[in-house]
Amino acid sequence: MDGEKVTIAGWVQNIRVLGSIVFLKVRDKEGVSQVTITKDNPNFSMVKDITPESVVAVTGVVRKSEKAQNGWELIPEEIKVLSKAEVPLPLDISGKIESEFETRLNARFMDLRNPRVAAVFAIRDCVTTAIRNYAESKGFIEVHTPKIVGAGAEGGALLFPVDYFGKKAFLSQSPQLYKQMIMATGFDKVYEIAPYFRAEKSDTSRHVAEFIMLDVEMAFIESQEDVMKFLEEGIKRVFEHVKKHREEELSILGIELEVPKLPFPRITYSEAVEKLGLKQGQEIGTEEEKKLGKIIEEEKGTGLYFITLFPEEEKPFYIMEAGDGLSYSFDLELGGEEIASGGQREHRYDELVKRIKKKGLKPENFAFYLNAFKYGMPPHGGFGLGVDRLVQKMLGLPNIREVVLHPRDLKRVLP
Ligand code: AMO
């Protein structure tokens, strides 16, 4: 484009005044360009007043330049300041001066001007695109279930109540009941990527009160193994897609992404507690889960594996019992943390009612859901995968909040 007239627009990354010459670095999402202003240029006097991070539009002629960073510079005819940035800035986007995480979250719009932070969100986008491509390629359709609901699906204590025209309603914890009801419609393979809400009272590095979940439900399965196969292949595809399409971002973050091999190891809950030296029936807590992650990594050389057949007591009412106090359930683990859970569902009306009662719940509160099991409900199963957790663990980040644009937690509801 040597000699061509162009207009570029973006943020002023820095201004260097060297006596009779000024270098203006202008950044947009594609990269950084150099604008060179010599003393004889009519813009010379105004350019020194431009503050860093102001938004400018520069019209000028492209000139080949050996010295400029990317091999060319722009000789400006006109420089317009579209928005002047205040001084000082809320944080140093070069990352040279490290800011508190709270400061970064308060000025997230500016935090994302740091290429390392932007890289995380570009990768996150690639993850959801890969999920959609994969699900659609397998004949799944995306559905949209309600986010204001009359009953919780995943335990009462974690519900956010909503005043719904004078009646009590809740923010949805998961689309569980709705995705299952769709199995009675004829749409036999559905997915949804959407926000869900849980009033998590504990302040941890892996929980937020609003998170994005990928939900999948599929009918006419023969066992939960069908669901696990779909999930593991999907995870592999996500890694492949990110590796292929976000090479630059991965290199900014210094990450060498390894595409996992199929099939992922499967260990039963019973084997897991044995490895951990726990009693059968005991819950695998956060610390034990991490320990198990290390054991499996050493034994099988992967951080991605399934734990299957949990005690039915530990799993929700909608999971099918497998006999001997067990259930057709699974968790998918990555780096010592659960990123997804699912299983085969109880599709037989009478058995489902029994399970609801067994969990101390009232079938009449689930009448709208149970109704769908009375008139032809195929065997089915599915899972829920935490998209935020997947991205966090994939990139080895210490806190889930790093991958959430505006995290919602015990302390934070703004911005
Ligand atoms: P579960 O409650 O295990 O299962 O949730 C599924 C996945 O969602 C993610 N997740 C969270 N991520 C961030 N912050 C939170 N507070 C949070 N809570 C959950 C996790 C978890 O593995 N209905 C079932 C799924 C199913 O059986 O289809 C369910 O919701 O990654």
The catalytic residue among 341, 345, 346, 401 is 341
Q: Provide the 10 A C-beta neighbour count for residue 382.
A: 27
Cα 185 to Cα 183: distance, rounded to the nearest angstrom: 6
Residue 399 CA to ligand 1 centre (angstroms): 17
Is 198 considered catalytic here? yes
Return the C-alpha torsion angle 69, 71, 77, 79, nearest 10.
-30
Average pLDDT of the segment spanning 157-173:
94
Residue 9 CA to ligand 1 centre (angstroms): 42
Which residue's C-alpha comes closest to atom 1 of ligand 1? Answer: 341
Best mutation site among 174, 197, 344 for ligand 1 pocket (most ligand atoms within 8 Å of CB): 174
Which residue's C-alpha comes closest to atom 25 of ligand 1? Answer: 384
Q: What is the pLDDT of residue 156?
A: 66
Q: Is pTM, for the whole model, over 0.85? A: yes
Which residue's C-alpha comes closest to atom 13 of ligand 1? Answer: 207
Confidence at 96, pLDDT banded by 50, 70, 90: confident
Alpha carbon of 73 to those of 5, 22, 29, 50: distances in Å? 12, 12, 18, 19
Tens-digit pLDDT profile for residues 197-235: 999 888 999 999 999 999 999 999 999 999 999 999 999
Residue 349 CA to ligand 1 centre (angstroms): 25
In three-state secondary structure terms, 104 is: helix
- Residue 255 clears pLDDT 70, i.e. is over it: yes
If we measure between CA atoms, which residue out of 173, 113, 126, 171 comes closest to residue 387? 126
Which residue's C-alpha comes closest to atom 23 of ligand 1? Answer: 176
Tens-digit pLDDT profile for residues 129-149: 999 999 999 999 999 999 999
Cα 380 to Cα 190: distance, rounded to the nearest angstrom: 11
Confidence at 290, pLDDT banded by 50, 70, 90: very high
Structure tokens, 392 = 């966090």
Cα 128 to Cα 170: distance, rounded to the nearest angstrom: 26
Contacts of 415 (CB under 8 A, 6+ apart): 106, 108, 406
Q: What is the pLDDT of residue 153?
A: 84
Structure tokens, 124 = 């996150």
If we measure between CA atoms, which residue out of 180, 182, 162, 181 comes closest to residue 172? 162
Tens-digit pLDDT profile for residues 37-59: 999 999 999 999 999 999 999 99
Cα 105 to Cα 100: distance, rounded to the nearest angstrom: 9
Residue 207 CA to ligand 1 centre (angstroms): 10
Tens-digit pLDDT profile for residues 166-206: 999 999 999 999 999 999 999 999 999 999 999 988 899 99
